[in-house]
Amino acid sequence: MKRDVFQAIADPTRRAILVLLTAQAMTPNALAEQFQMSRQAVSKHIRILRECEVVEQQKAGREIYYHSRLDKMKEIDRWLEQFRQHWDSRFKQLDQVLTNLKAKQNET
């Protein structure tokens, strides 16, 4: 089963891992220290993040470091943009209605 980036952000723990990895590359042990769960549980989340291609691993000696792939996160941003544009338009309409109501109140 092919996973997509939306599965990566569907879980709060994976979102938290992504936030940490955006700041710096980390090992599984370093990540596990940030959560109240086992290294194995964190590794399962990392596996899903890798399958979603939002995290890559890089070997440095005997350690494996994970870092986020911001280019894949842009896929989420592009999808959300359609909603941003919609809501921006709606808020502009609301601003206009409120401005018109305020102008009418000032006239009376």
pLDDT tens digits, 6-58? 889 999 999 999 999 999 999 999 999 999 889 999 999 999 999 999 999 99
Q: Is residue 83 part of a domain?
A: no
The domain tally of the chain equals 1
pTM of the model: 0.74
Q: Is residue 49 part of a domain?
A: yes
Q: Is residue 93 part of a domain?
A: no
Q: Which residues are registered as beta bridge partners of 8?
A: none
Find the helix or strand (DSSP H, E) in which 48 lies: helix 39-51
CATH number reported for the structural domain that contains residue 46 in this entry: 1.10.10.10
Query: Which residue do the tokens 């769960």 mark?
Result: 37
Q: Is residue 79 part of a domain?
A: no
* Cβ contact 58:13 at 8 Å: no
The domain containing residue 55 runs over which residues? 5-70
What does the alpha-carbon distance between residue 100 and residue 16 come to, in Å, rounded to a whole number?
Answer: 44
What does the alpha-carbon distance between residue 57 and residue 32 come to, in Å, rounded to a whole number?
Answer: 16
